[in-house]
Amino acid sequence: MKELMRAPFMVEMIRIVTNMYDHGWDERNGGNVSVLLDENEWKEYLPAVHALRVISTGFAAPELEGKCFLVTGTGKYFRNVQYAPDVNLGIVRLRDGGRNAELLWGFSDGGSFTSEFPAHMMSHAARRKVDPKNRVVMHCHPANLLAMTYVHSLDERAFTRTLWQMCTECIIVFPDGVNVLPWMLCGTNEIGEATARKMETARLVVWAQHGIYAAGRDLDETFGLIETAEKAAEIYLKIAHLPLVNTISDEALHQLEVRFGVKAREGWLAPELRSGPDVRGEAK
């Protein structure tokens, strides 16, 4: 049996959550991460699998029956994960249609998975319908994106276009845009269900006055989505009070689509400008 602490998924999880804390995205016990583990992956590192205990999830997720997740714990500080991963992380397997989770490893102090577990699992189920390779859901509190929700319209198209116009790379990294939820009570099935619906059309979901949810195929991709959006929000806050002299035009954004082989969310850019005569036979 291989040593669990040397498993690539464990090494990467510890590295990423430490980096998230160092970025200031996860103050105190703020934020949570879950990673869907491949069965062939985790069975190399765990002994004959039996449940240490069973934890009620309080929701149903039949699409994830039998799936195993490495997940951060409730009330746990990201800065401590690298020092005591067995206390701050756990590996759980869903059963009974997702209504219960078998603890296979971790939470050795008697703890449990994050209070946002419903939002994570519902988001995993939603994203896997869009992309079966999706394996990660990440939630944190990046200061600039959070601040932006106080001063910017929460209209999803407007919010996305502002971010796209702040950094050339934004439309390349998240061409599907950013979805936005108004403030809702966190840790509930209601916000989990609302987030999952938003995840059907975008990998980034902003929770107004709270933080952001992101989904991706691996931890690096998901971290990078947040990192890019947060940088764009930082630039926006630096210039929002100043007269706008230049911007990245829709024409330029269309050029980026072509150059990098991405497609912006349908209808969120102005129609592409074309050379040659228009419908009236006049040159543009």
Q: Are strands 178-181 and 204-207 parallel, antiparallel or unpaired?
A: parallel
Q: Which member of 102, 116, 156, 230 is catalytic?
A: 116
CB atoms within 10 A of CB 224: 16
In this structure, what token pair is assigned to residue 80? 């401590």
Ramachandran assignment for 44, one of left (phi > 0), alpha (psi -120 to 50 degrees), beta (any other) = alpha
**DSSP at 275:** -
How far is residue 171's CA from residue 260's CA, in Å, rounded to a whole number?
10
Task: Say whether 116 is catalytic.
Answer: yes
Distances (CA, A) of 279 to 35, 251, 269, 271, 274: 52, 19, 20, 14, 11
**109: Cα separation from own chain's centroid:** 27
How far is residue 64's CA from residue 122's CA, in Å, rounded to a whole number?
9
Residues belonging to the active site? 116
